Amino acid sequence: MSGDHSHGHDNHLDDMTARVMALETVLTEKGLVDPAALDAIIDTYETKVGPRNGAHVVAKAWSDPDFADWLKRDATAAIGSLGYSGRQGEHMRAVFNTDDTHNLVVCTLCSCYPWSVLGLPPVWYKSPPYRSRAVSDPRGVLAEFGLTLPEEKAVRVWDSTAELRYLVIPQRPAGTDGWDEDRLATLVTRNSMIGTEEALQP
């Protein structure tokens, strides 16, 4: 039997996930990490401090003109009124998609991201190709996400910083008249609030 150990392992994990799991195992074995506490933190950012919060903000803006106006004037206060504030969400600006303009958010320097309304940032948001090409070729980036916009629609790119983060308010889909906020929120995706896609169709 050969001593060659070069065959692949069928563990279905990408390299980064495998490394994170290995690190978590080592830290847990050394008593430095409590798995229950770690699970609670992850659950908080995935389900409580996650995209559902942002979806609630968008749905309220779609259904409440006064709130939408407040969001345009002072997004930090309007979002805070719903109980969403904190880490990387202290200073917010809401940018509204219109028939004439589509908004796209990036952080060219690092990966500044509004955790309080969008949860944990996706891996691609932090990647150098996205961070550079979102500015130099926004239409090309959007096309790779499956979103092809009419040539006459302008694309405006917003660069997040440590001081200010952006939330895209996608256009409300047609055919949703009479929907309540909870139902409207089901059409709002994390990517639509970054600007790499539009809200879901009903």
Annotated binding site for Fe(3+): 107, 110-112
Q: Residue 81 catalytic?
A: no
Would residue 63 show up in a list of annotated catalytic residues for this protein? no
- Residues 57, 63: Cα–Cα separation, whole Å: 10
- Would you call 132 a catalytic residue per the annotation? no
Q: Which of 2, 6, 63, 107 is catalytic?
A: 107
Which residues define the annotated binding site?
107, 110-112
Looking at this protein, which amino acid is placed at residue 147?
Answer: L
Catalytic residue among 63, 85, 112, 192: 112
> Angle of helix 65-73 relative to helix 51-63, nearest 10 degrees?
120
Helices and strands of the chain, counted as H and E runs: 11, 4
Out of 2, 6, 81, 110, pick the active-site residue.
Answer: 110
Select which of 63, 81, 111, 192 is catalytic. Answer: 111
Contacts of 194 (CB under 8 A, 6+ apart): 104, 105, 118, 125, 168
Distance in angstroms (rounded) separating the CA atoms of residues 126 and 141: 14
112 included as an active-site residue:
yes
Catalytic center residues: 107, 110-112
